[in-house]
Amino acid sequence: MTEIIIVSLIALFLLAGAFFTLVAAIGVIRLPDTYTRLHAASKSSTLGVGMTLIGVFIYFAYYQAAFDTQLLLAVLFIFISAPVGAHLIARSAFHSDVEPYQLTILNELKRDETGSEVETEETTRLKIERSKNKELDD
């Protein structure tokens, strides 16, 4: 009975890891700009790789009787480094003037770094233009 539970748990982790990794790959291909692609790559792939490694850890712990701390450390390292890396890449893209997707209305980082919370004529004009484009798309 316990073996069925262990096999099911391993299969659950491996399939969920594969699913989240697939979602990350599709997100990187399909999403429109650098910032949203980074979001897909950092969130989904981190979860996918982490779940896959946990499934592998359970397999080796149960069937090989080997408690491999390196797998746990790899999961911990991925969970720490992937979001931090994506954040640094996004900030670098922002400072390199990579434009967000045309339907992005609020750029909080730009607002925070310029220190102004007052809408300028340009942001008002862009909001109106984007809403017109959105109406045309609908």
Range of the domain at 51: 2-100
Query: What's the total number of domains in the chain?
Result: 2
Q: At what angle do helices 34-63 and 69-95 cross, to 10 degrees?
A: 180
User: 84 and 132: one domain?
Assistant: no
**Does the pTM of the predicted model rise above 0.85?**
no
User: 29 and 64: one domain?
Assistant: yes
Determine which helix (DSSP H) or strand (DSSP E) holds 12, and give its type and residue range: helix 2-30
- Tokens linked to 91: 């900030």
User: 13 and 47: one domain?
Assistant: yes
Question: In this structure, what DSSP letter does residue 101 have?
Answer: P
Q: Using an 8 Å Cβ cutoff, are 79 and 50 in contact?
A: yes
User: 65 and 117: one domain?
Assistant: no
The whole-chain average pLDDT of the chain stands at: 84
User: 47 and 67: one domain?
Assistant: yes
For 5-52, the pLDDT digits (tens) are 999 999 999 999 999 999 999 999 999 888 888 888 888 989 999 999
